[in-house]
Amino acid sequence: MIDLLAIGHATRDEFPGVEWRLGGSAFYAAAAAARLGARAALATRVGPEERAELVAACRGLGIDLVALPAAVTTTFAFSRAPDGGRQLRLRARAKAIALADVPLALREARAVIFASVAHELDVSLFGGFPRAIRVVEVQGYLREWDAAGAVRPRRWSAPHELLVAAHAIVLSEEDLGQDETPVPAWAETAPVVVTRAERGSRTYRAGSIVEVEALPVDAVVDVTGAGDAFSAGLALALADGLSFGDAIRFAHAVASFAVEGVGTSALADRAAVDRRLRESD
């Protein structure tokens, strides 16, 4: 049985001075789960130019890959914004993923992460995994782009089908544009976890707000994918029967390793994650 299935577009991420590298929330979440020793699967779309790279990466990480065909791979160009933050441009977008695209065997996964980066998840997916722990990363719904592909934040009215399907919704302060005012309304239906980088997380749940500190790290090298590692840790911990609070702490431990290297290079195994949790007590 698959322990964790991540659904969403793998991406071609283009950075100044770097040709490109694989990315996408679903890819990073599956990678984190695989490094923890879970049997992880990724259902995604990928174009012909990036297919071989994605196949090789998933083979190396031990991820079961369902590489759905696409004319192009969803592509983001990263640059530095005038305020020092990052600036995104959507250069290409693959078509959406629907429940019919997911093989029946994968629909029995213990945990599923719906990981949107560019509005690519069809609503049919949300009712397709009734027995799984379901974590929704909503980053892709909180962005829009103009005709030139320049990405900017947007307000989002969370659809009922998504909220009722979720055991947890995960997003970052950056995704929200530092504005958490919509979150309490979403949390009336599903717990919402707002990640806050080195300041930990804030969980809105059942009318309460709980803040959890991040775990210390050896060095911050690259924060890309840290939130996705967090989601993978949260989903697996909930599937294993941990309380929500303990699952959040485990998720922070998983994410703490993700920032210590570029891409997936620093993701840790279960023994290292458990050791960091013990040391933080």
Name the amino acid, one letter, at 257. F
Contact, 90 vs 115, CB < 8 A? no
The pLDDT assigned to 186 comes to: 93
Selected residue with higher pLDDT from 81 and 235: 235
The yes-or-no verdict on residue 224 having pLDDT over 90 is: no
Measured distance CA(190)–CA(164) in Å, rounded:
7
Determine the pLDDT at residue 223: 87
At residue 32, does pLDDT exceed 80? yes
Alpha-carbon span 239 to 10, nearest angstrom: 24
The tokens 């979403």 sit on which residue?
186
Task: Specify the long-range contacts of residues 154-157, CB closer than 8 Å, at least 24 apart.
Answer: 155/182, 156/182
CA neighbor of 231 nearest in space, from 276, 166, 277, 147? 166
The closest of 39, 54, 42, 43 to 2, measured between CA atoms, is 39
- Mean pLDDT for the chain overall: 94
* Per-residue DSSP letter, 21: E
The predicted model scores a pTM of 0.95
* Residue range 181-205: mean pLDDT, rounded: 94
Per-residue confidence band for 5, with pLDDT thresholds at 50, 70 and 90: very high
- For 185-202, what is the mean pLDDT? 94
Q: How far is CA 191 from CA 37, 142, 149, 171, in A?
A: 26, 17, 32, 11
Give the phi and the psi of residue 68 in degrees, each rounded to 5: -70, 145
| pLDDT value of position 239 | 98
- For 27-31, 173-177, 229-233, which range has the lowest pLDDT when averaged over its residues? 173-177
Query: What is the structure's pLDDT at 83?
Result: 67
Q: Are 3 and 40 in contact (CB under 8 A)?
A: yes
- On the question of pLDDT at 84 being above 80, the answer is no
% residues pLDDT > 90 (the chain): 81
Is the model's pLDDT at 18 over the cut of 90? no
3-state DSSP assignment of residue 4: strand
Residue 82 pLDDT greater than 80, yes or no: no
Reduced to 3 states, what is the DSSP secondary structure of residue 212? strand
pLDDT in tens, 230-276: 999 999 999 999 999 999 999 999 999 999 998 899 999 999 999 99
Alpha carbon distance 184, 214 (integer Å): 22
